[in-house]
Amino acid sequence: MVTLLLIACNQERLLKEHLSTYKRLMDSIQGEIILVDDGSSDHTKEYVTTHFETISYMKNPVELGYCQSFNKVLAYIKTPYVLCIDLNIEVRFIPLKNVLSYAQKNNIFMTNFPFSHQNKQFYGYYLVYKQFRLYFEETSLKTPCFCSEVMLFDTKRLQKLDGFSSHYHSTAFSWYDLIYRALKEGESITISTNSLCEKKTSLSTFFSYLPDQNALLKDNFLFQWRFYRSFSFIFKRCISITLLFFSFNGSKILNFIQAYFQWLFFTKRHNSQILTSVKSFFKQLLTRGTSSFSVHQPILFTNHPNWDHSILKEPFSFKLLLTHIPAPIFIDPQSLSRLSYYSLIAFHKCWILLRLKQPFHFVSSNYALEHELAHYSL
DSSP characters for 183-216?
Answer: HHTT--EEE-TT-EEEE-S-TT-BTTBPPPHHHH
- Asked, for residue 292, whether it belongs to a domain, the answer is no
The confidence score (pLDDT) of residue 230 equals: 56
- State whether 103 and 196 are in the same domain: yes
> By the 8 A CB rule, do 4 and 34 touch?
yes
CA 285 to chain centre: 32
Q: What is the DSSP string of 61-98?
A: SS---HHHHHHHHHTT--SSEEEEE-TTEEEEE--HHH
pLDDT of residue 364: 77
**Are 329 and 357 contained in the same domain?**
yes
At what angle are helices 213-227 and 250-266 packed, to 10 degrees?
40
- Does any domain span residue 291? no
Instruction: Please name which of 94, 86, 90 lies closest in space to residue 125, comparing C-alpha atoms.
Output: 86
pLDDT of residue 290: 42
pLDDT of residue 211: 53
Q: Is residue 275 domain-shared with residue 323, that is, in the same domain? A: no
pLDDT of residue 108: 92
Pick from 286, 319, 348: which residue ends a domain?
286
Residue 47 included in any domain: yes
What range defines the domain where residue 232 resides? 214-286
On whether the CB atoms of residues 155 and 95 are closer than 8 A, the answer is no
Going by C-alpha positions, the residue among 86, 166, 81 that lies closest to residue 124 is 86
pLDDT tens across the length of the chain (378 residues): 899 999 998 999 999 999 999 999 999 999 999 999 998 999 999 999 999 999 999 999 888 888 889 999 998 899 999 999 988 889 988 888 999 999 999 999 999 888 887 877 776 665 555 555 555 555 555 555 566 788 899 999 999 998 888 777 778 778 888 888 888 888 888 888 888 888 876 655 655 555 566 667 777 777 776 666 555 555 656 666 666 666 666 666 666 566 555 555 545 444 444 445 555 555 555 454 444 444 467 888 888 877 766 788 888 887 788 777 777 888 888 888 888 887 787 777 666 655 456 677 888 777 677 777 776 654
Work out how many domains the chain is built from and give that number.
Answer: 3
